[in-house]
Structures are given as C-alpha cells and as structure tokens.
C-alpha cells in the first residue's frame, strides 16, 4: 500500500490550503474485494482519461466538487499513482480460489480434469455467441466445486444457481478470465502440438476435436476407458495425447523416408 499526502492551494475569497491524504493499493494483490470489484468495473466501462479520473475519485475518496478545484498538475500526479489499474493486465485471482464454499482450479489449472476443461471452454464459447450470463456461471460451475467433490455435469446447475445468486458479476468474470489466462499461459504453450497440430487444414467432418481426442486416448488404452480418460487430469491427458501426436508424426516421417 502507498500512503499519499498532498497539499495544494485554491483561491476563493482568500487563499486556502487543501490536503489530499489516502492510503491506496499499488497493485491488484493489495486491493480489497470491494476495491477489486469497483476497479475492474471501471476498467471495463471507461477508458482513457475518463476512466483514470473515476479511479482517482474512488481511491482518494474525492467528491465531484473537489475535482473541479484540484489544480491540473496535482490531478496529473494523482493519475500517475493509479496507472497500474489500466497498464497492469495481469490481475491475480487467488483470492477467489475459495469462494462461497467452492474451491477452484490451482495455478496452471493443475487440479482439474480433462472433461472439466472441455465443458468450461464450451460454455465460454457459448457465452461469446449468445452473451447469456448464465453460460459464464456454468463455466465457473464446471471449475469451482465443493471441497472433495468429484466433477459431475449432472449437478452443475445446482452450483450455477449458487454462483448466480451469491457471486458478483465481477467475481464470475474474473474467474473466467483466470481460467482463460492459465489456459493461454500454460496449457496452450506446453501442449503446442495438441492445439496447433501439423499446421495443415483439414476438410474432414464436423467432429468435435475434443470428442475425437478422448476417443483416441481411450482407443490407445494407456489412460483406460473413455470415462477414465474424461476424468483424467488435464495435464496428464494432454501430455499423453501430445506424445501420441509426436509419435505418429515420426512414424509418418519414417514411412515417407522409406518410400523415397
């Protein structure tokens, strides 16, 4: 936290000394839950100077009339103190790892199953198409579970109701953003071959690639039946599938060399 105290002068009937004093966060980790909700809301709705002014007003607890009398150089100085709200794109979400009795995925999504990952992603895609807020809640309900409970799609709607009624929209959006951030930072990069293949386009059927992958893993047999594959840890499943892809590529390369 940063403690800021500034004095400035305003000229009315006589010269007056005014003081701005506040203790403000310097990054997302130092924000309270309430501050987090407000600041992310401002960041979503307002850009540029308007957004910064609103953040300054909120964090320094200023009244609208006060802003009118603050000298421009002081206002610029105040805006510099909150630049991180708009510049720092890495928002930390660990405060929501446990929320309202539900426990979410760890860093790098290390503790979720393949089917949780797939279902959450499907609901997020659905939301992007129809903007139905319930689909965001469903995505969260796939990832945030009661302690010790195994994921089951059948009881997801019960959690959806709890999330819709008890979580703020910002909490829901942050949780989805966390999932997307971890997916981009870890899953997509570590298992590059799974998500990018060989770079060649395919004119094949409209088969869901996740469906094909799960059946491919079940056929391979190393992770067990289809149900066992679905409940396998996301990293173990993707690592196994990536090794299969690499092995198949090598076999194809050897076959092409032999043919030549």
pLDDT per residue as tens digits for the range 129-155: 999 999 999 999 999 999 999 999 999
103-117 pLDDT tens trace = 999 888 999 999 999
Residues found in the chain = 260
Specify the DSSP class assigned to residue 183.
I
Of 87, 102, 122, which residue sits at a domain end?
87
Domain boundary among 172, 190, 208: 190
Both 59 and 140 in one domain: the answer is no
Same domain (yes/no): 113, 136: yes
Segments forming the whole domain that contains residue 242: 195-259
In the prediction, which pLDDT does 93 show? 53
Are residues 118 and 162 both part of a single domain? Answer: yes
pLDDT value of residue 23: 94
Q: Quick one: 98 and 186 in the same domain?
A: yes
Q: Which two tokens stand for residue 179?
A: 């999932």
| Same domain flag for 100 and 64 | no
> Where among 50, 69, 87 does a domain terminate?
87
For residue 203, the model assigns a pLDDT of 42
Mean pLDDT value across residues 28-36: 81
The predicted pLDDT at position 197 comes to 65
Distance CA 211, CA 47 (A): 41
Q: Give residue 201's pLDDT.
A: 38
| Closest C-alpha to 180, from 109, 238, 103 | 109
Residue 60, both tokens: 């320094």
Q: Are residues 9 and 82 in the same domain?
A: yes
CB 222 within 8 A of CB 197: no
Q: Pick the residue with more confidence: 62 or 11?
A: 62
pLDDT at 200 over 50: no
* 29 neighbors 17 (Cβ within 8 angstroms): no
Q: Please name the residue that has the structure tokens 């289809």.
A: 226
Total structural domains in the chain?
A: 3
pLDDT for residue 202: 41
49 has a pLDDT exceeding 80:
yes
Query: From CA 223, how far away is CA 210, in angstroms rounded?
Result: 15
Measured CA to CA, the distance from residue 215 to residue 228 in angstroms comes to 11
């Amino acid at each position: 936290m940063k403690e800021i105290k500034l004095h400035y002068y305003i000229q009315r009937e006589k010269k007056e000394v005014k003081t701005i004093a506040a203790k403000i966060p310097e990054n997302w980790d130092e924000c309270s839950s309430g501050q987090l909700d407000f600041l992310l809301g401002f960041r979503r709705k307002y850009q540029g100077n308007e957004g910064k002014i609103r953040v300054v007003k909120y964090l320094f607890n200023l009244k609208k009339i006060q802003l009118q009398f603050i000298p421009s150089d002081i206002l610029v100085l105040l805006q510099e103190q909150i630049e991180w709200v708009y510049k720092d794109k890495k928002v930390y979400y660990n405060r929501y790892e446990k929320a309202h009795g539900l426990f979410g995925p760890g860093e790098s999504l290390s503790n979720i199953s393949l089917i949780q990952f797939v279902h959450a992603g499907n609901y997020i895609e659905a939301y992007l198409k129809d903007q139905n807020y319930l689909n965001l809640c469903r995505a969260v309900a796939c990832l945030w579970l009661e302690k010790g409970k195994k994921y089951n799609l059948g009881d997801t709607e019960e959690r959806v109701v709890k999330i819709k009624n008890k979580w703020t929209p910002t909490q829901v959006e942050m949780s989805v953003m966390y999932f997307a951030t971890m997916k981009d930072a870890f899953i997509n990069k570590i298992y590059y071959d799974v998500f990018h293949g060989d770079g060649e386009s395919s004119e094949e059927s409209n088969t869901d690639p996740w469906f094909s992958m799960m059946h491919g893993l079940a056929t391979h047999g190393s992770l067990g039946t289809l149900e066992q594959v679905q409940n396998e840890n996301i990293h173990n499943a993707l690592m196994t599938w990536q090794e299969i892809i690499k092995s198949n590529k090598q076999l194809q390369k050897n076959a092409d060399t032999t043919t030549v």
